[in-house]
Every structure is written in C-alpha cells, then in structure tokens.
Structure 1
C-alpha cells in the first residue's frame, strides 16, 4: 500500500478524467483490491484528511487548483456469474471494472439487460451512484444490491437496490462522500434477447417497432454506432469525446409550472411541438439538448478562446479542444445555462460532480 502511495503521489488529476482537466491532488494512491480500498478510506477518515474516490473520471469536473487531499483511484477487478436455473443470471462485478468491458462480457455470454448501456465510459462502481441510463434503460431496472463501505460507521454492508433512492440520474449516494461502492450485483436474462426496445431512435436504427426484443449483440452494435455519431464513445484522437458526456440533465418541470413553461417556449421558438416525456404526477421531462439549441447554442458553439466548445456532434457535451482549463469549461457551461434560463425560464442542472469548483 505504501509503495503505491509513494509512486503515485502528487499526480495531476487531469490524466484521470475524460475531460482531461484538473490540477493535482496533494496525495494520490491506487487501490488494487477491495480490502486495500477499504483500508485506504478508513485511514484517511481516521486522519481527518479530505478524500476523493476516483473511478473512470467520466463524470467529474476538477478545479484547476486540484484537490487538497487524498485521491484514491479504484483499480479493483473481478466479474462472476451465477446461474439460478430460472432463466436469470446474477452478475457480480467489482467497482473498478471498466463498465463497457462488463457490458461487452455480458453480451458475449448471451445475457440480456445491459446492451443499451453500451459505450458509457467509467467504472462499474459509479453506475448505481448516478443511476446511469441510455436508450430507454436505467441501471435501477437491473440492480439487485451493492456492497459499500459506510464511512460514518466504517462498516462494509450489503444494501438492496430499493434502499438507494434511485431516480433519474441520481441516488442517495450522489454528491455525498458518506459511502464508497465496492461491488454491484445485477440481474440479467440468459435468453440472448435485449430489454424491450423503448427508445425511438434505437428502434429506428434497428428497424423494429417499440417493445420488440432483439438479439443482444445486435443492439450493442447499434447503440455503439449511435453513441459514436454523437461523440459519446471515447476516442483519444477526437476532441469531441474529450467531455464528461452529457453536461446537463434533462430538466423535469412539475405539473403546476408546466403549462406556463411550455407557453413561453412555444412563444419564443414559434414551435408548437416541444419534446417532452411523462415524469409522473403530471410533470414532464424536457430535452436539455433541444432547449440549448433553441436558446442559440448550436453544435460547435465556442467558449473562451475556442479552447472549449459544445461538441460538433451533440450540444449536451461540453468539450476540451486540447488546451482548455476548468475555468474555461465552467464559463461556457454558465453561459449556456444562463441563456436557457433567460430564454425559457428553465434552469439546467449539471450532471457531472464538480470538485472544488462551481458554475457561476
């Protein structure tokens, strides 16, 4: 453990985020197994040191000044399958496993459930924290339980999915440091077919009608192609992928405000069909990308000095063009958020976790 700490100390966090932004941590250590991870976290807590737990860095914005504390990179590994004999398979995955590699492995085993979540960057431990979702599927539909380290008590315990408060891109674990996910358990099907295809764009790409189930490998290929076309599959040579994915979540407008918001949007845009999706209790989820574009921020919109831009493929991704700073990125994000608020009265919320930095 000490050797890992000494060799990796004072490392810049930029190389550990998909945005490639952020200053150094005071101390940087790597946990190669769950026991080491638990001890590193407990040690930092006993010493009263600030702690930043790093996964794949795909949902993280770190300040230019860096992090005054200990950064612990999770590098744990392990994937196991348990067939229950009822057509279902329980998949147990250590937090440090690359998420897309896990999806690829499940698809390779002919297991259905994860295929729509192909191409999402980051590590497995982060998936329940933000309830990752794409193309009509969320991790909450497949999650059985997680093992986590409760930093308030120092105990490791198993928590059922139903106790995690999983909601749209959120959970009780998000934006809090009170627990660290060690491993996750997922329930998959062994019939080789996907979840029912719910997302119109994906159904169109597959040439099927909504609700159909399709061989999992076919769905994975289609999802990767769709994500690649939006710059949402990591590519070291493509600055359109130097991002944190979707920077803003799709806003949910409650039933009371919804008529007024829709009227304002229709009046400002002249469009009568505002994309929206039911969100329960009369509320609606609006498309953040659609609002951003209608507020005047098109694909490729430039921030300070052209060092940051909206992706040329997808307006929800804010990208580092190679020489940006975190301050550049936050300036562009703030401009976009304020533009949408002024135009439509809708305040966009950032999806990434902001470490020692804020939107203005």
Structure 2
C-alpha cells in the first residue's frame, strides 16, 4: 500500500462534490488492501473505502480519517461451473463496464443488461446492482471479504449476503452502519455461455425496455449497444461534456409498497408486482413440535412503484433547481440529482431533502436514497 497526498472527493466521485480527507492510502493488490484495512482498523481511526465513487455523496468538510482507495483490478476464469456456464473471479477494484464488455465479447450472458453502470465490481453485491430485469443476485456465486471486527478473510456464499432490492447486509444505508461490517476483496460470477449469435430474449422487462418482440432473436452485442444508448439518452453513462452525467445515478430507490397502500395512488401510477416468498422457512423447536404444521400466513402481495413518477407528479420537473443552487434534477431523468457545475455536497443534499419532503407531502411515501452519504444529512 502507498500513502498518497489526499485528493478531494470532488475529483474522485461522479457527483463531483466533497472535500479531501485527512489521509489517503492506495491499495493496488489484494494483499495491499488487506494490509491497509488491518492497519486502519488496528488504530481504531475513522476510515472508509473508495472504489469508483459512483454511489457516494460526500460533504464539504474534510473526512476526519483515512480513505483506502481500492485500485485492484483484473478477472480470471475459475473452475466449479456446470456444463454450459463459466465462472469468473473478479477483483473488487475492477471497472464494472469493462468487465461487462469482456463478457459480452466472449458470449457470456447474465450481466449484459447492466452495461454502462459506472463504478467497480466490488460495489455491485453491496447494493445488488441491477438494470432492466437483471440483478447481481442472479449470477453471484460468492465473495471473498475481510471482516472489520476480526480482520479475517473468508469466502461467503451469495445466500449469506442478504441480497434484496438495491441492498445487502454489507450496505451502509445513508450514513449508517451496515449489518455486517466487512469489505469485499473479490467476487465470483457464474454466467451462461451462449455465444454472440442471435438468440431469443426471454426476459420480458428487457424486451420492453429495448422494444423487442418476443419472437425476435438478438445477440449479446446488440443488447449491450442498445442498453448503452438508452442509458446515454437518460444521462446515465459517464460523458464529461454532459452535465447530466455528473450524478450518482438513480438517487432514490423505487419504493416497494403493500398492494393495499399502492391502491391509494393515482390510477395512472405505474406499478410492478413483487413476487412474494411462497416457501417461507418455518422453524419449530423440537420440544414444541406436535406433528402438525402451523397454518401458513397468507402471502403478502407487494408492488414496486417508480420513484421518478412520484417525483414528477409531486411537481418536480426534469431540470428543476432550488433558487441559487448549482445542484439540479437531471434534464433527462427525474431520478438523478446532478452537479450542474461547482455544486457543493450541501447543495445536493438540500435538493434531495426538498424532493423527499414534496413526495412525502403529496403521496405519504418517504423515498429512500441509494447513495452512501458521508458528512451530509438527508
């Protein structure tokens, strides 16, 4: 590991806000990353890790501790995959979209709909990254991580990460502590080897997003090209001349509501069913087991509604700005908060609070932010 002169977060995050930390360390190999983390943990100082900086809102005061930059990269094919599938072990600091591009070029399916998502591979399981019907939970096999409390490195299966809609046990919601305090060192994905020829596109959400008929075969490269075009049209790919890309992507999560609550929303509010757990695990102590199983409670029916729709119908249009603020809603997508040039972390946070208050007042729904916040209050 190498201690470097601290660089402002405004140069290292896609939102382009945030002061420099007190101390910064670069880790370019897995061993350096482990050593750096054990060092800062042993000193019991404030710390944080930084990958691509694409899901981070940092405040305007210097972070009072050490930032460990995860600069590891690379991936390799590993064994253990069944016939017709391939497993890749990916370093945490690997650029995500470069990984996706490689898998598409080599005919490996499973993450092509997540083309263009900025950031590093290690961040993908933390918030169960997803787009257009694909999520990391569908392809993730396991992660190698180092535990904050023990300093030990272990391999944890995907089932042990509590992966859900844009969350996991590793995610710091807002600025809070995660359920499991650990740092991902690498991850293993299992992808289908389908080749680069045209084939049926079975996922209905991806077909709808791409405007593809059910009977039309398409190739992985075609899917990637068109997903990138869609994301570009929404300002959701990194493009330096376009101020709409100076964001943290979707700033708010799409709320998941009980169907009864969603019925109170206007009829034209889109909603998508969320599949209930039809096979819940029931644990009965042996000394209480009578030979009969308890009656299962009825499956709860939830729906997901688009946060962008709620924002726009709360009166906040694309391009909206508060007076004298340099932060604004994207001109292309109401779910992205952008730095229009020289904005501070405080200005972005002020805009986020205003949007949350308007949606709560209009619909009684409190939107939850997706980015991790450091030194700011939402």
Does the alignment reach a TM-score above 0.5?
Answer: yes
CA distance in 1, matches of 2:306, 2:327: 22
Counting only pairs closer than 5 Å after superposition, residues 189-200 of structure 1 correspond to structure 2 as: 189-192=192-195, 196-199=202-205
Partner of 1:66: 62
Taking only aligned residues, the RMSD between alpha carbons, in angstroms, comes to 1.7
CA distance in 2, matches of 1:227, 1:199: 15
Runs of 4+ off more than 6 Å: none
2:302 aligned residue (275, 280, 283): 283
Partner of 1:226: 230
Normalized per residue, which structure has more helix? 1
Q: Secondary structure at the match of 1:332?
A: helix
Q: Secondary structure at the match of 2:210?
A: helix
CA distance in 2, matches of 1:36, 1:11: 19
Partner of 2:286: none
Counting only pairs closer than 5 Å after superposition, residues 280-319 of structure 1 correspond to structure 2 as: 280=276, 281-319=300-338
Contact in 1 for aligned 2:109/2:220 (Cα 8 Å): yes
CA distance in 2, matches of 1:179, 1:104: 28
CA distance in 2, matches of 1:66, 1:165: 32
Give structure 1 stretches of 5+ with no counterpart.
267-271
Partner of 1:109: 106
Contact in 2 for aligned 1:112/1:194 (Cα 8 Å): no
Partner of 1:269: none
Report how many residues are paired.
Answer: 344
- C-alpha distance after superposition, 1:226-280 (max 9, x if no partner): 0000000001111100000000000111245333xx2xx32xxxxx232011123
CA distance in 1, matches of 2:48, 2:360: 32
Partner of 1:15: 11
Partner of 1:136: 133
Give structure 2 stretches of 5+ with no counterpart.
173-177, 277-299
1:336 aligned residue (329, 351, 355): 355
Q: Secondary structure at the match of 1:38?
A: helix
CA distance in 2, matches of 1:88, 1:156: 27
1:9 CA drift (Å): 2.6
CA distance in 1, matches of 2:102, 2:38: 32
Q: Does 1:324 align with 2:321?
A: no
Larger gyration radius, structure 1 or structure 2: 2
TM normalised by structure 2 equals 0.87
